[in-house]
Amino acid sequence: MGLIPIKQRLKFSSAIGSIALMVAALTISAPYAQARSGMFDEGGLTATGGVTSISGTAGGGLNPLAFIGGYETDTQIGGTAFYTHLIAGSFTMNAGGALIGIDNRFEISVARQNFNLGSPGASLGLGSDFNLRQNIFSAKLRLFGNAVYDQNSLEPVVSVGVQYHENISPAYPGTGRNIVDILGSHPDGTTYYIVATKLWLDGLLGHYTVLSGGLRLTNSNYNGLLGFGGTNDAGVYKSGYHVEPFVTTAYFLNRQIAVGYEYRGNPHFNVGGPANFSSTSAWQDAFIAYFPTKNISITAAYVNLGTVLNTKNSNGLYLSLTGYF
């Protein structure tokens, strides 16, 4: 933390305070959650729903997993809510949302992301407190596989998903037009993915071990924060989709603490005209997740976003809380 500027430390401390309040509220409500019965029982094992990605789906911090969010079995309904704070170089992001898992088969979620451009935004004439904003509406369907009961088989859980992004960023100053339109991309768009995830309960050294990989079909810029698609050298809009891989691994040191790594490929489009913000990088993180109770998880990570808006070395810290209901 000694290398992080004072202003960023204060922002991160504020996020920690918000998460502490949420932890307290969830801890108080946990006994009531345990008293529920029937379709709202939490029949799944602790941590088997993962945490929550920045896009609102059950998974790691960056990527979806094939698991359905919540702790429901095939006759139950479960849900989660999350809050995430990210500091990456000059940028900060706040994200929050919720999901519902139905019969361990289907998941729907919604998330809101606010991405503050900080000093790079000021250099673009947007001011030092300009926020890119988007809503993300997602659905995931588990095709086959069971995380717990398929331990005698190498068959993973396989799911498909779709994410619709609605960019609601402010207008570019003096134009009345969404900044994404000004940059030459489309403000709204859809991403599709398929993901396979395998959980070994008696994995490496007898501990839970998770390996997950998938492919995204997408034309998103910075996860949709700068819209979808871009222009070719002649300035003509191109919306062509790219296939991008993503990988998540996790290893549980015990039943409450997991460490892991994520990789997420991103497409490259010419966005921003002469400014050309196409130098996007693959996103990566190394994380530790803590499950103090079945109803709470806290995740901290070191995140590498690479180049964002032509700003290199956009690396930093990520802190997230997920509550399970």
Upper half-sphere CA count for residue 24 (Cβ side, 13 Å): 6
Mean pLDDT across 33-60: 76
Structural Rg of the chain based on CA atoms: 20
Of 291, 58, 80, 84, which Cα lies nearest the Cα of 195? 58
Residue 183 located in a structural domain: yes
Residue 52, token pair as written in the block: 């929550």
Q: Please report, for residues 100, 111, 131, 146, 261, the alpha-carbon distance to residue 175 in angstroms, rounded to integers and kept in the order given.
A: 39, 28, 17, 52, 42
Mean pLDDT across 244-271: 94
CATH of the domain at 154: 2.40.160.40
For residue 39, the model assigns a pLDDT of 62
Greatest distance between any 2 Cα atoms in the chain:
63
Taking 60 as the threshold, does the pLDDT of residue 10 lie above it?
no
For residue 92, the model assigns a pLDDT of 95
Point out which residues pair with 80 in neighbouring strands: 99, 324
Could you identify the residue written with the tokens 């108080």? Answer: 28
Mean pLDDT across 210-216: 98
Residues 94-122 pLDDT 10s:
999 999 999 999 999 999 999 999 888 88
- Separation CA 235–CA 241 (nearest Å): 18
Q: Which residue has the higher pLDDT, 237 or 315?
A: 315
Mean pLDDT across 223-252: 88
Report the run of H or E that residue 272 belongs to, with start and end.
Answer: none
Across all residues in the chain, what is the average pLDDT?
Answer: 86
Residue 1 located in a structural domain: no
For residue 122, the model assigns a pLDDT of 82
- Which residues 6+ apart lie within 8 Å of 26 measured at CB? 293, 295, 296, 323
Report pTM: 0.85
Q: How many domains does the chain have?
A: 1
Residue 216 located in a structural domain: yes
Which residue segment(s) compose the domain that 56 sits in? 6-324
Point out which residues pair with 83 in neighbouring strands: 96, 321
Residue 243 located in a structural domain: yes
